[in-house]
Amino acid sequence: MKEDQGFIQRWRCVCAYDGTEYAGWQKQPTKDAVQDAIETALAQIFSTPVRTVGAGRTDGGVHANGQVFHFDQEWKHGAENMLQALRSFLPSDISPRILEPVSRNFHSLSSSKGKRYVYRAVQGWAMPQDERFCLSLKNQRIDLDAMKKAALFFVGKHDFTAFAASRGKGEKENPEKEIWKMEIDSSSDEIRFWVEGSGFLYKMVRSMVGALFEVGRGKIKYRFIKDILETRKRTEVVVSAPAKGLSLEKVFYTRPGEWNE
């Protein structure tokens, strides 16, 4: 598919990454972010700097199975060949999964309707091959029923200031977000938190999960989650869960339940 403006094509890529060694998605002056590695790879392929736009920022140490980004570049050899070229220039902890031409109207960030995150924890000690991707609860006893009750308070449209952290540098964002789904399930020794919503503040998911763990440990009552939410003020009661358990699973371009999700 060719476009006007010199036949420059817009490309959409869905990628996965192990975020352990990276300072998050967004490129940094230190060049140690996932976006830095991807733009370096694209520059090698095209012999010119290539700017990418991601669907959102993930924190340092957070992983992704479904991060989305786009870029504009002329390419005459087909999407599959570009995908293989990109893979060949990237380290093994960043894996492009899908790459396809899209309309110039598509925008990874502004076209997004929401995201799905998953947080993983293990009751007991995680196996060594899983330790980078989940929180080991070790000897802690967790009350799952209380956590599930508390999680329901997050569903709906709320001001999530009490469950966000400041990025600094004067950045401000609308604190009102809508959570469509906040569910906890467990199988064997693993606990998974499934969170879907219209948008998320800095460290919001990790803060929500951290507060639920406090409920599970019996340090706060499950009803107290509602009280914290209504204060609209961050306090020491809310501690963010470690980054390594969190993964961006999917970016939605139609709201869940709409056709062609």
∠ Cα 109 192 235 (to 5°): 70
3-state per-residue secondary structure call for 213-235: HHHHCCCCCCCHHHHHHHHCCCC
In the set 59, 130, 189, 227, the catalytic residue is 59
155 SS3 class: coil
Residues in CB range of 139: below 8 A, 6 or more apart:
none
Of 138, 154, 143, whose CA–CA distance to 221 is shortest?
143
Query: Does 59 participate in catalysis according to the annotation?
Result: yes
Cα(230)–Cα(236) distance, rounded to whole angstroms? 15
Catalytic site positions: 59
